[in-house]
Chains A and B, each alone.
Chain A
Amino acid sequence: MSEVDLAAQVLDLVRTLSGPGTQAEVLVERRTLALTRFANSYIHQNVADTTTTVRLRLHRDGRTAGGSTTLTVADALRDLVQRTAAASRLCPPDPGWPGLAPPSPVDEPVAVDEDVIAATPADRAARVRAFVDACAGLPAAGYCRTAHGTSAFANSAGQSALGATTQASMDGVARSTAADGAARLAGPRLSDVDGAVLGARAAAKALAGAEPIELRPGRYEVVLEPLAVGDILQSLALYGFNGKAVNEHRSFVAPGEEQFDESVTLVDDPTGPGQAGLLFDAEGTPRRPLTLVRAGVTEAVVHDRRTAAVAGTASNGRALLGGASWGAVPQNLALLPGHGAAPAEVPGPAADSSVLDLVTGVRYGLLVSDHWYTRVLDPRPLVVTGLTRNGVWLIEHGEITRPVRNLRFTQSYPQALAPGGVLGVAAYSAPGASHWDLASYAAPALRLAGWNFTGGVSG
């Protein structure tokens, strides 16, 4: 049975078992995920699964409940409807219920990549082999992942939508005695992922990390590569532009204010280059490209129906599954790249030529490859602590001179991107995959005037 048919069947069951006054929405997702993982230069974990999840939320007599099942036989669907209806009757009232998404056209689905859908364990192993071989004897670790999702939405208000996504991604490190070097890429097509290119880039970084020096903590000018900028984008998405956080005054974001450097334009766009995402959200609201920051000025936050109702506005289609407590989150955030030549592979530790273009302007600072284990210390100003990982180098007079040991930082992300804080935006945005879902981001390298390093990894 197709996802569309399953959704329709559940809606029929709601009408039959819960009565015509019940408001209901159904999301059926079929995910096929395959991931080939390697460490010490061999494949040590190799997994695949296909799961269909049927999610139901219903509202009746002022009360709301949700539920899901991975069982799709008729009895299981009937049980899902019955227990969710029963739960809604016993639940305390829900005065904030925002109603169902009204009928509204959803854009045509983005074409999926048949090569991702058809990818075999041998296809993924071949990319692993290419990565390992490109590491020229350095131990390698990482994964190659192919994922395909099909989703169907229907609600009792007459809204329906169907969409599909594909994503191929590879993430790996080459390991030398002193340092690891990383390379990571994601895209909607299997051909986006070239194990040899990524392996060579990771190895170049690892080899350039030998004999790192210890640097005194302090405030340094930095060039952050796309992997590190991707971490910033994901933090801004979760804690900054989240409509619930804004409603509850837990976010720094203030629409209409010049909160970022004028070189910063942020969009949430599932159709953007390299992005993977559906064109509707968990409530069936169309998810269209949305500019959150234009030339440094905050324009919008993202909403689901509940956060929008609180804010007195309309949902812009960013509802998450189970998002009532998390809020609404951009899932395809992109920092638009600057202008310049298309990037090319370069020797040495820089990820590509667009990074080197930024390095050239730095008199004394640090090149940071990646962030690790970043956590929010102070939510409102979004002060985050974390560490550098997979390579840090000193930049002197526009040249990358020496590797540096990893450092801990404690930094307000919006403050780092504030007016005057961004000294350069690279000409290329690299797409990256979320670790946890079929979400993605696109990040260029950034040159920032200051970054607050608060300790060395060795103490």
Chain B
Amino acid sequence: MNVAYHAGFIAGSFILLAAISVPLTRFRNGSSVLYALAAVVSGLAMLSSMAALSRGVSLQAVLPFGLPGTGMRLELDALSAVFSIIVNLAAILASIYAVGYGRFDPAPRRVLPFYCLFLLGMNLVLIADDAFTFLLSWEFMSLSSWALVVSRHEEKENRDAGFLYLVMASFGTLALLFGFGILAGESGSYAFDLIRERQLTPFAASIAFLLVLIGTGSKAGLVPLHVWLPPAHAAAPSHVSALMSGVMTKVAVYGFIRVAFDLLGSPAWWWGTLVLVLGGVTALLGALFALMQDDLKKLLAYSSVENIGIVFVGLGLALAFEANGMNAAAAIAATAAIFHAFNHSLFKSLLFFGAGAVQHATGTRDLGQLGALIQKMPATAVAFLIGSVAISSLPPLNGFVSEWLTLQAILLSPELKDWGLKFAIPATGALLALSAALAGAVFVKAFGVGFLGRARSHAAIEAHETDRFSLAAMGAAAMLCVLAGIVPGLFVDGFAPAVALMTGAPMPDQSRLPWFTLVPMDVNRGSYNGLLLLLFILFTAYGAVIVIHQFVSNAIRRAPPWDCGYPDSRPQTQYTASSFAQPIRRVYGTLLLRARDFVTMPPPGHVRAATFRVEMRDLIWEKLYLPVSGSVLYAAEKLHPLQFQTIRRYLSLVFGLLVFLLTVLAIWL
């Protein structure tokens, strides 16, 4: 099969869907029909990618449009196919979810067309085989997702998020544009085949690498380029948030892998160190910021920042191993990165679906208004719980497997010779462990405050279970999380062709091992079996239940909560989201977030209420972004007089500039 059919089918169907979406909304259930069709198209796109991956061939095509001379080049190789499966799998889930959820959309016409175009843009980025097509699709993806972010533009918060996103996306694309410019060189050969053949000087390669890291990193949410991500992901409708957080960040990861591993050839020694450290810092700060959020969707978005950090740690390790010629170790690190990207697309989609269901059921996503939803939304609660366990990288679910593989790769790294890496890698390992533990706290907070305890508002008491389609999507995502946790070997084998393309050698074949064990190198070095662990836990736990209920007692007596003798019926006396985070805020936040608590107590005898206020500062925003935006405003202010001139002045300015540039050119040459 030709990749042109693949691309043509996706492009044709999604453009058609976008076109019919607006008239379709006139009908009852029109949006549901459209989302169902989008799910079918995504499903077919996924099947086509799976077929290409399993046949192990790379499909290429050149279409007669795009850049003159280059044409529109498309290629579906193993790397594209793996990411295409990740993207389209999550797109299927999000579309099924939206079959139910989309019905409650107040303005479906602002969402539906762009939703289809967004899916199209992401698919095209993955199969682009020349820089022009890549950038065009990339920008297509950015702009369509921007339209989705501002779909609820009535709220100022969403408009601000959209503006920030637009600025950062443009900045990222600009960096990518220059990066590809350097890759193409003077000859201007934008086809990826020609870029691969070119031998760049180490300096030029490094500049291109940095530019691409900035461009893709800003889309993926690497610190310090992550600031746009939480507000934008929180502002979009929930199924779009799931796609942006779960999938679009993976497209960015794909872009980085494509350039850093495929197009640039052999990496310089410090590239890996840089990516590794950036990833570690991103993971830590993402988790810490996530813990400080009271808004459920912002919490999830910051947790995406954390997970992207983990993915980039894996990629940095892979680069470092590759630079030192340790391809087997590089394969483990690269597998860990791709596996974590896959896992994150699953559980993050699942959690955003849950957040959307909660928001629809209660009208709020402020954790301070929720509580006890496990009673009112039992199925959503189970799915959200599975997602929480998975994302906290706890065995036996899938988040643990990719984290474990990353740690196994770290343990192979003392063989590396660079001294920078010898210090950076253990430090990154510690950061990774810290962020994993913080992620656990984040999701104890999210689930514990949102779903457990007593309801904190009337809305939470009145909450109701969400619709069948949303539940089906959440259930499928939860099952996939379990499946990827207990039979990780199958997934690792599936990613193997892509890993071979990245690092030159895949991980050893896992399919022959008994009981789906995962053995990265040698069974004596370390192995993991999620299936057995799950069975053991279930057997022992269930065995205990059976034995105790059978032979001792199974009587339950319901009574008021004891609470050490001081029960208080007001739900306000429970721990809130902010008070849950207080111990950790006090331990880590005083340094990293400049968190300070202000307590004012009225003097004895006064009846004034006591107040409590927490102040936190985002140092990255203050030290990096505010100066830049301030100087832009200052420059704009200064240049303002140029705006209202006569035509003579303008012409003389143009003339002056021309003379200046010609003079520069004359001196230069």
A in complex with B: no
Chain A positions within 8 Å of B, measured between CB atoms, are none
